[in-house]
Amino acid sequence: MNKNTSAILMAIMAAVLFGLSSPISKLLLTKISPVLIASLLYFGAGLGMLLINIGKKIYKKEQIEARMTQKELPYIIGMIILDVAAPVSLLIGINMTTSANASLLNNFEIVATSFIALVIFKESIGKRMWVAILLITLSSMILSIKDFDSLSFSIGSIFIILACICWGFENNCTRKLSLKDPMQIVVIKGFGSGFISLIIALSLNQNCTNILYLLIALLLGFISYGLSIYFYIFAQRELGAARTSAYYAIAPFIGVILSILIFDQEITISFIIALFIMIIGAYLAVAERHRHLHIHEEIIHEHRHSHNDNHHKHTHVDLFNEEHSHVHTHKKIKHTHIHTPDIHHTHSH
């Protein structure tokens, strides 16, 4: 399995795990408020990954991922702040508009992520990929519409769009961190966003004393947030922010399928139409082949890598046959091959 295929599967796995959160959170909402659930989900993600990291150290597992440094601090701060600002904007918007509007406009995150990746972070997105992104967004929008008569534009709609823009920037901040240890990123993201969300929840007098529900929320956070973000970062490393966001868009479909199984919801015509459009969009994304003559400028950085590709030809005193991490230099090279906007292909077009 090549890295591109592996990254696509990781993006889909991230979506599947995140898709678990909506129907199960719906059950938890009977005892826990929305902001407090958000806090617990993030805390569960950070705590779960922290325990795994401690376990690795106890069993003396070799560290093959690059650790974060002060250079990544602006993106870390941005990631945490945006992860809090987005759901707060979303909650304000939900209170000021209809649920149909909120569900529909929430799909703007895919387009926002792609547009920000293209314009600000100079990520390459071809025509075929844009068609795939728009089809996937359209399918998600169709899936989210339950009542066409209730659709309208209001001040609340602006807050929903603002939330999507925040998530778009957050996805791109996380993309800039994807060189580093995904487990460390999830721990920082989980505890940072969880702590700020908890302060907001407590300031709104939102609390819960049901231990069982609190533990379930933490466990759900580890599975649907922690592991999902972990796989998402791996996918971003190879695919870039826009393409990962497109594959991740299948999450609502997972949520609907689970809702059909858990809440005995019926399969609607809109679901079938949306699924059909999603399949076409996913096919266009997967079948994309981007190949041209390009130049890699000289760069010095640190990340997990091996020497079985065309980009890591530096030598070592000791022979490394497996993946490892250290500061290394890429000499300037010019070649042609199929590639995606991964960490080594940030050239302009």
Chain segment 2-57, per-residue pLDDT in tens: 778 888 899 989 988 887 887 788 788 888 888 888 889 999 999 999 999 888 88
Report, as an integer, the average pLDDT of 330-335. 72
In this predicted structure, what is the pLDDT of residue 151?
59
199 within 8 A of 300, measured Cβ to Cβ: no
What is the DSSP secondary-structure string of 109-159? HHHHHHHHHHHTS-----HHHHHHHHHHHHHHHHHH-S-GGG----HHHHH
Confidence class for position 283, pLDDT limits 50, 70, 90:
confident
d(CA 181, CA 263): 38
Residues whose CB is less than 8 angstroms from the CB of residue 151 and which lie 6 or more positions away in sequence, other chains included: 98, 100, 101, 104, 145
d(CA 339, CA 79): 27
In this predicted structure, what is the pLDDT of residue 164?
87
d(CA 143, CA 274): 6
d(CA 33, CA 175): 30
In this predicted structure, what is the pLDDT of residue 317?
61
In this predicted structure, what is the pLDDT of residue 63?
65
Q: Judge whether residue 274 has pLDDT over 60.
A: yes
Chain segment 169-199, per-residue pLDDT in tens: 999 999 888 888 889 999 999 999 999 989 9
Among residues 164, 24, 170, the alpha carbon closest in space to that of 102 is found at: 164
Q: Judge whether residue 338 has pLDDT over 90.
A: no
241 within 8 A of 121, measured Cβ to Cβ: yes
In this predicted structure, what is the pLDDT of residue 124?
82
Chain segment 98-131, per-residue pLDDT in tens: 656 666 677 788 888 989 998 888 888 888 888 9
Confidence class for position 304, pLDDT limits 50, 70, 90:
low
157 within 8 A of 104, measured Cβ to Cβ: no
In this predicted structure, what is the pLDDT of residue 129?
86
d(CA 230, CA 279): 25
